[in-house]
A and B are shown apart, each in its own frame.
Chain A
Amino acid sequence: MEINLVDPFWIAVIGTSVLAFTLKYLGHSVPKRWLSHPRILKINSLIPIALLSALVGVQAFTNGSRLVADQRMAGVGVAMVALIFRAPFPIVVLSAAATSATLFHIG
């Protein structure tokens, strides 16, 4: 087996892993006062909300560089209803998959 080091998937695996560990280790090693500024804490709590929302939108409504509405939209809509009714995570994901797959086969 050989690993192609210019393959974007391998670069992503290695780069993400190295940086993820560095960030974790940093927290265990730097003095607390460096990163406990209230503004940094606030921004840090908001960044996942922005990125995850963007990912939901892009994964559900785009195909390459085009905006589209297809079976994925219905799947995510059902997932949102499941979340509103406080369904556990596996139900949320499975209900989305079942909805999307059904429409895919009908369509």
Chain B
Amino acid sequence: MSRVNRATAAQSLSVSLTVGTYGVAFGAASVAAGFSVLQSCLLSLLTFTGASQFAVVGVLGAGGSALSGIATATLLGVRNTLYGLRMAPVLNVRGLRRILAAQITIDESTGVALSQEHLGEKEARQGFWLTGIGVFIFWNIFTLAGALGAQAMGNPAAWGLDAAVPAAFLGLLWPRLISKTDRVLALSACVLALAMTPYFVPGVPIIATAILAVFLGMRASIWR
């Protein structure tokens, strides 16, 4: 194994620690939604992609079915496929290593890898592995802490957890709102989901908003 670039290692570690601590919010949200501590930890170990994890506990916590929870989480996980496409030629791995690389293919590992590409392909690879493994370790430790903490708390509303969960979604959403199209979509999706809530089973109003994204995405490419 070649020497690790110091700047790459520093960035990987700081991203891993910062993002890993969000695991507390996930563990707490998951238990507040009715998942057990074991189920919450398994979601972090096996699903290991933050937005999808928050989504599935959010949908089931609001009374949605397992199917609509899985569907919402899966739609949010599609971007990891595109990250995999981007990273595959950089990593160039097969067999067990490809399986490990796939599991840690998330926003952060891909983001750090791409930010290191100007230093070289070796640094990009190191950034990917260090960040992916780092986030995995911290995310899982902090999930357990958050889940145990929430279990000890009792009523989630008494601790403000009921507002912390939508605030966490808002925090995940905010950096994505760049163009006017993004903001129009965000507002209309929120309104559509609320307008549908009284008339549809829980979960369906959330997943239905994906149609808005498809519609706007098609129009954007027609304009071009």
Q: Which positions in A face B, CB cutoff 8 Å? A: 8-13, 15-17, 19-21, 23-30, 32, 35-36, 38-39, 41-62, 64-67, 71-72, 74-76, 79-80, 83, 88-90, 92-102, 104-105
B103 touches A24 (CB 8 A): yes
A58 touches B62 (CB 8 A): yes
Q: Which positions in B face A, CB cutoff 8 Å? A: 18, 21-22, 25, 34-36, 39, 42-43, 46-49, 51-56, 58-63, 65-67, 69-70, 72-89, 91, 93, 98-99, 101-103, 105, 157-174, 176-177, 181-182, 185-187, 189-194, 197-199, 202, 205-210, 212-214, 216-218, 220-221, 224
A53 touches B190 (CB 8 A): yes
User: Contacts of B63 on A, CB cut-off 8 Å?
Assistant: 64
Q: How far is the CA of A44 from the CA of B115 in the complex (A)?
A: 21
Contacts beyond the supplied A53-B186, A56-B166, A75-B163: 8 A-B pairs with Cβ under 8 Å: A13-B42, A24-B49, A27-B105, A51-B75, A51-B207, A55-B72, A58-B206, A76-B163
User: Contacts of B43 on A, CB cut-off 8 Å?
Assistant: 13, 16-17
B77 touches A105 (CB 8 A): no
Instruction: Name the one of B171, B193, B210 contacting A47, with C-beta atoms under 8 angstroms.
Output: B210
Interface secondary structure of B, over-half rule: helix
Interface secondary structure of A, over-half rule: helix
Q: Which among A35, A51, A79, A96 has the greatest number of chain B C-beta atoms within 10 A?
A: A51
Select from chain A the residue with minimum beta-carbon distance to B62: A58
A75 touches B167 (CB 8 A): yes
Q: How far is the CA of A75 from the CA of B74 in the complex (A)?
A: 28
Instruction: Name the one of A21, A44, A61 contacting B102, with C-beta atoms under 8 angstroms.
Output: A21
B165 touches A59 (CB 8 A): yes
B198 touches A60 (CB 8 A): no
Given contacts A23-B78, A93-B25, A101-B158, contact A49 B166 (CB under 8 A): no
Q: How far is the CA of A55 from the CA of B186 in the complex (A)?
A: 10
